[in-house]
Amino acid sequence: MSENARIDIQGKSIEAPLLIGSENEVGIDIAKLRSSTGAITFDPGFVNTGSCQSAITFLDGEKGILRYRGYPIEQLAGESNFMEVSYLIINGELPTETQLTAFEKDITYHTMLHEDLKHIYNAFPKNAHPMAILSCIVNALSTFYPDVGTEDEEALRLAVSRLLGKITTIAAWAYQKSIGHPMVYPKNNLDYCENLLHMMFSVPAADYEVPDVFAKALNVLFILHADHEQNCSTSTVRLVGSSKANLFSSISAGIAALSGPLHGGANQAVLEMLQEIHADGGDVQKFVKKAKDKNSGFRLMGFGHRVYKNFDPRAQIIKSYCDEVLELVGVEDPLLDIAKQLEESALKDDYFVEKKLYPNVDFYSGIIYKALGFPVPMFTPLFAIGRLPGWISHWIEMNNGPAKIGRPRQIYTGPNERPFVPITKRG
């Protein structure tokens, strides 16, 4: 393979170096394209544009491969836990027992929120979406703690511990406010997922025993969501951070990006779809037929994936936990029944099989969150909690590298130069 790609544009040409990744991905370095030819590339959505070189996550959508720092997602989900995976993603290597213990302790002892933050919670309307609250409070953390860069390793370590520790409390308090319950404080004797479930579902009048399978399922979901290469929210964190914005503000921007229904809100959209089917009488086959009709305007949420062209490896992992949770809960919920019927139909229907529209991680995660008792508006904050290690790692990697401030170009399509007409002379 040539080490350069030749690009010819209107009589001008450049030799663009080829960049080869560790998994043999090929990129064309066009850094000098505009200065040499006056042209830019046009790539709506940046789907063919590499914005950085990263050593964190490898994703192959055609083969259904997802690896964090080289470790297959199947092994991490089956043999590790979210705290260990968080350490791996942020620090680059799996921790020793001593390192993991210290990491978990740091996070556990930074789960408390400053009491003054309650004033901000009280200022939100009761029906405020928890994702908006999450983004706001994370951004507010930068007013309580000094801005940190990557130069001071101890200050950065402390900021990372605070973010990972406090985000579960921030999210749980957003939920408690929405239902008019008092804020529940974290407990240091509980692990990460147990603590979140405790703060979400316990009340001062009674103790809450966290079912093991609930904590286990949540732990696996967080691992599966921990990073996913240069998606919309991760790219946002890197873009905002490229201006040297502090860690808290950059993560806050990532949360805002994740809140959209085309990104982190996809699992919420799954439940809303199930509610629509239920409200219409629960005829699953009617909606399967509508999904196959291009003119119906209806699409099944939680099926297929923009990146994975065959199957979503995360969905295959979480499906077994989905079945286990549903069996344990044993609740009579028509939405969960509809979900199971949809899954069966899509896996057997030739239309979906041929187009490889398999249930993805958003489909199963929404069902699990519903079965665990989480209200639909909390689905996206849970996604944000899981994605936090990836955001942190990308912010650190970007700040430690030679990255420039993000500044995309555009193709201007507006009017050509024209003279200003005074308002008195405008017809």
For the annotated catalytic residues, the residue numbers are 305, 362
Q: Is 283 left (phi over 0), alpha (psi -120 to 50) or beta?
A: beta
Residue 2 burial (CB < 10 Å; 0-12/13-18/19+)? Answer: exposed
Contact status, residue 202 vs residue 184, Cβ threshold 8 Å: yes
- Rounded CA-CA distance 396/147 in Å is 14
> What is the phi/psi pair of residue 215, to 5°?
-65, -35
User: Integer distance in angstroms from the first to the last C-alpha of the chain?
Assistant: 63
Q: How many CB atoms lie within 10 A of CB 203?
A: 11
DSSP 239-298: HHHTTT--HHHHHHHHHHHHTSTTTTTHHHHHHHHHHHHHHTT--HHHHHHHHH-TTS--
